[in-house]
Amino acid sequence: MKYCPKNPVSGHLNLSVKIVRIQIVSSEQNHPMLTLDQLISEATALPDTAKAILLDKILESMTEQIDRDVLNEGVQKAQYRIAEIDSGTVQSIPGDVGLAQVRQLLGK
């Protein structure tokens, strides 16, 4: 998170976190629910700070299902891979091309 100086009047930290609300309602209320693809699209469009908050909340909700250390390791690996792509160290390929290559290697 960026350095946030204290407000000289109130003494509180000046946090510049944009609050983003994604409304998901159930079909029982006759409102459309976001599809998983729509939710992913909305989440990936968030600023990094909001993504970190969302990720933390999702991880908290999964602590009973997945070993947190293993999950954190996976998150760190994903962050490393994203940094490689962003820096140009590696080049990404479309998912369908990658799957075709894996299938060819496995002889399927």
| 22: its two tokens | 């994604």
Residues near 55 by beta carbon (within 8 Å), at least 6 away in sequence: 75
Alpha carbons 100 and 98: distance in angstroms, whole number: 5
| 17: its two tokens | 């976190």
User: Of the given ranges (15-19, 24-28, 39-43, 92-96), which has the lowest mean pLDDT?
Assistant: 15-19
Give this prediction's pTM: 0.35
Whether 22 contacts 10, CB under 8 Å:
no
| 6: its two tokens | 């204290």
Residues near 12 by beta carbon (within 8 Å), at least 6 away in sequence: 6
Q: pLDDT tens digit string along 25-37?
A: 544 555 578 888 8
Per-residue pLDDT for 15 more than 50? Answer: no
| 85: its two tokens | 């792509």
Q: pLDDT tens digit string along 54-108?
A: 988 888 787 666 677 787 888 899 999 889 988 999 988 888 898 999 999 998 7
